[in-house]
Amino acid sequence: MLPITLPSIQSFLKKRTAESHKGTYGHALLIAGSEGRMGAAVIASKACLKSGCGLLTVAIPFTERFIVQTTLPEAMLIDRNEAIDFSIYSAIGIGPAIGLHVNSTEILKAIISSSTTPLVIDADALTILSTNPELLSGLPSKTILTPHPKEFDRLFGIHHSREGQIETAITKAKEFDIIIVLKGSQTVITNGTETYYNTTGNSGLAKGGSGDALTGIISSFLAQGYSPFQASILGVYLHGLVADITLKSQSEESMLITDVIANLGEGFKAIS
């Protein structure tokens, strides 16, 4: 395994140009949130937009639309109970708090079977994958899975060590031609051939919402045209770096993911 370093990030970091417009930086679709759990949709969406994508559409239960409209007016909304044309988006992120309903399962199946758009699968969508393991073999090439350790074990069997999980992650990433972001105190990113571990971050991220923000960040970088492996590496590194920057004004105990998202601009300045 190799460490993710600032020079390695800077070697592929894209520069924004003065001649660009919102279409230059892609259109992300996030499928997130459910009744009583709309915070995940707000967190993922805000992190996505503040990571630079040009346009964002959020697919939510429309009864909950006012929460996103009032907290993030920059995002567009669609009702995920209606048919979705996945082809118009540059990247798709699915999972944060979508629930384990039939509708959520059908949406995930539809994306896997019919979409060629770069894809991030997280949270409840990972649980759906674990209960429908036949879907794994149909995942589009270079799909990104972002499990925490318990989600990983639900997908690939019980492990008794971090080392064992990493070995399995490398094997499964190669077997299914996917990218696995195995979250933890040193998050590991592998495509089955190359494997990196993160060098940023702190225990202030050990709170609900942190994974939702990471999904939004990685989805944003996918929409902007980074390769799935680059988007994963950059997203994980920046997520942790901004948490480290946030410690200047917070403690690890008091830090909220909304504090981290608010400091994304400082993170971009630090890596530019």
- Domain membership of residue 206 (yes or no) is yes
Report the domain count for the chain.
1
Q: What pLDDT, on a 0 to 100 scale, did the predictor assign at position 182?
A: 98
**Residue 55, phi then psi, degrees to nearest 5:** -140, 150
Cβ neighbours, 10 Å, residue 193: 9
- Domain membership of residue 143 (yes or no) is yes
- Domain membership of residue 194 (yes or no) is yes
- Domain membership of residue 16 (yes or no) is no
Tens-place pLDDT, residues 84-137: 999 999 999 999 999 999 999 999 999 999 999 999 999 999 999 999 999 999
Cβ atoms of 43 and 214 within 8 Å: the answer is no
Instruction: Locate 11 and state its tokens.
Output: 């070697």
Helix axes 228-246, 210-223, angle to 10 degrees: 130
The H-or-E segment that residue 59 falls in is strand 55-60
Burial 205-225 (b: 16+ CB within 10 A, else e): beeebbbbbbbbbbbbbbbbe
Tens-place pLDDT, residues 205-258: 999 999 999 999 999 999 999 999 999 999 999 999 999 999 999 999 999 999
Residue of 215, 146, 154 lying closest to 180 (CA atoms) = 146
**Residue 76, phi then psi, degrees to nearest 5:** -95, 155
Q: What pLDDT, on a 0 to 100 scale, did the predictor assign at position 139?
A: 98
pTM for this predicted structure: 0.98
Local confidence band at 50 (pLDDT 50, 70, 90 cut-offs) = very high
Q: Residue 204 carries which side chain, given as an amino acid letter?
A: G
Q: What percent of the chain has pLDDT over 90?
A: 100
Angle, vertex CA 58, rays to CA 244 and CA 99, nearest 5? 85
Q: What is the extent of the structural domain holding 135?
A: 2-11+24-271
- Domain membership of residue 120 (yes or no) is yes
Local confidence band at 43 (pLDDT 50, 70, 90 cut-offs) = very high
Give the Cα separation of 64 and 31 in Å (integer): 13
- Domain membership of residue 19 (yes or no) is no
- Domain membership of residue 47 (yes or no) is yes
What residues form DSSP beta bridges with 182?
A: 188
- Domain membership of residue 18 (yes or no) is no
Domain with residue 132: its CATH number is: 3.40.1190.20
